[in-house]
Chain A
Amino acid sequence: GAVVSQHPSWVICKSGTSVKIECRSLDFQATTMFWYRQFPKQSLMLMATSNEGSKATYEQGVEKDKFLINHASLTLSTLTVTSAHPEDSSFYICSASPHGHLNTEAFFGQGTRLTVV
C-alpha cells in the first residue's frame, strides 16, 4: 500500500515557540492531504484540508493563524503550530490517498505527539 510518513514522531517545545510537523507521501503524489488532531483517549477530529499550491481549508473552530498549513509540493504538507501553548498538546495525524485510491482507503502517517511545556 501507499506510505505516508510524518516527522517528527514526537516533540516537546516550550510555551510560546513554534513547531513544524511534516507529512510526506513517499510513493505517490497527493494534491490533497488532511490534518487531524486526537486528544488522549478521544477520536480524530479533522482540522484542515491541505491543498497543493493553494490555501488550506480549515474546519470550523480551527484557528488558521494558529495552525499554519503549507502544501508546497505534491508530496509534502507541513503543519506549523505557532506560539504553542499547553492546550495545543495533542497527537496530530495526517492522511492522504493516492489517485487510484481516492474512494477506497486513507493512508495515515504515524502521527506526531506534541507536548508543550
Chain B
Amino acid sequence: AQTVTQSQPEMSVQEAETVTLSCTYDTSESNYYLFWYKQPPSRQMILVIRQEAYKQQNATENRFSVNFQKAAKSFSLKISDSQLGDTAMYFCAFATDTGTASKLTFGTGTRLQVTL
C-alpha cells in the first residue's frame, strides 16, 4: 500500500513571493505517477502538475515546478510569483503505474493562503 504525507497543514505567502509545499511518499513500486492537485473554495479538484517516476527531469508548468527526489521519496511543489488565485488546498497524490490516474492516494493537504 502507498502512503502520502504532507507535513505542512497550513502555509502563508505574500503575493509575488515563492512558496514550497512538501510531500513525501512511501511505496514499493518502481514506477508510478505523482500529482499535485489544487482544491479552491469551490471544491473542484484541479490538476496543477504531474510527474512520472521514471523521468528524472523535474516537471514544470508555468509558475509551478516540482523537486522530485526519487531516492528520498520526496515530491515538493514550488509556486513562484504567487497570486491571490493560488489560495486553495493543495493535495499531493500518488497513482500506480498499473492503475489509472483517477485511482489516487492523497496526502492530507496543505492549505495555502496568499496574502497582499
Indicate whether B105 reaches chain A with its CB closer than 8 angstroms. yes
Indicate whether A108 reaches chain B with its CB closer than 8 angstroms. yes
A106 to B106, CA, bound (A): 13
> Interface size for chain B: under 10, 10 to 19, 20 to 34, or 35 or more residues?
20 to 34
For A60, the closest partner residue in chain B by CB is B1
Would A49 and B33 count as touching, CB distance under 8 A?
A: no
Would A93 and B101 count as touching, CB distance under 8 A?
A: no
Chain A at the B interface: SS class: strand
Indicate whether B16 reaches chain A with its CB closer than 8 angstroms. no
Would B104 and A43 count as touching, CB distance under 8 A?
A: no
Count of chain A residues with a beta carbon within 8 Å of a chain B beta carbon: 24
Would A104 and B50 count as touching, CB distance under 8 A?
A: yes
Would A34 and B101 count as touching, CB distance under 8 A?
A: no
Indicate whether B45 reaches chain A with its CB closer than 8 angstroms. yes
Binding site for A on B (CB under 8 A): 33, 35, 37, 42-45, 47, 50, 52, 91, 95, 97, 100-109
